[in-house]
Amino acid sequence: MRRVNDEKKTSYRKCQRGTMKTLMVFDFDHTVVDDNSDTWVIRCLPDQTLPDTVKNSYRKGHWTEFMGRVMNYIGDQEVGPDRIRSVMESIPFTAGMTDLLTFISENKNAVDCIVISDANTLFIDWILGAAGLLAAVDHVFTNPASFNERGRMEVRRHHDHDCRHCPVNLCKRRVLEVYLAERSEYRRVFYVGDGGNDFCPASCLRGRDAVMPRKGYALEKLLAGLDGREDKVRAQVISWSSGTEILEELKATLRS
């Protein structure tokens, strides 16, 4: 009897040999965390604002280059890496996301998890690390970042691509397609996001997969505007407000 009870308690953790895993794909800003990490970093400045010369230097589709100028300005104000890191670690998680990621970290034999984000490696590593959630994520695909010899944080493009729908530094669909092509087929893929740049990867999902747009954000509005046209998005659309709803969908898939 004890053995039967133990098997019931670990029903999510046990994955029979040959059973395909589930893949969770997350955007980061306004999805895993409840703000934009690239704008949150401004809080490390004494007056928490940027001069107009930096603000007005942004060109559409060239956010990474803009963030390079932002971080250079922050360095010029003698704000060091430790201060930047402490501010980034204070960013709030979206409701229910820590429980969701904790569940994923405890069920790695049944669930793979990746992040595809237009943020950068340092911000994501710091934020997940401070929350003890790095173990939940198998791979992070984002813009590389590091500090140079002057103590300035430099941000580089994740890759070059020819997708006319995405920013020049990152096409999330291309990242997802390459990732899936290099691995065995997943039983089901969940794509969880909020923004306009999450539509492109959603369009490569299969009918048995699910795209999960955050309620009230751009991705949900784009998907609603399709009027059921399966030539654009074949996956099931499941909107969410908190990580708790995503967790219930994931558990239902693992039970089925």
Residue 177, Cβ neighbours under 10 Å: how many?
A: 13
Q: Does the active-site annotation cover 198?
A: no
Q: Does the active-site annotation cover 27?
A: yes
Give the pairing type, strands 145-147 and 139-143: unpaired
Query: From the candidates 29, 112, 198, 209, which is the catalytic residue?
Result: 29
Question: Can you tell me the distance from the alpha carbon of 7 to that of 17, in angstroms, rounded to the nearest whole number?
Answer: 15
DSSP string, 67-101: HHHHHHHHHHTT--HHHHHHHHTTPPBPTTHHHHH
Query: From the candidates 27, 38, 194, 209, which is the catalytic residue?
Result: 27
DSSP string, 92-130: PBPTTHHHHHHHHHTTTTTEEEEEEEEEEHHHHHHHHHH
Query: Mind telling me the catalytic residues?
Result: 27, 29
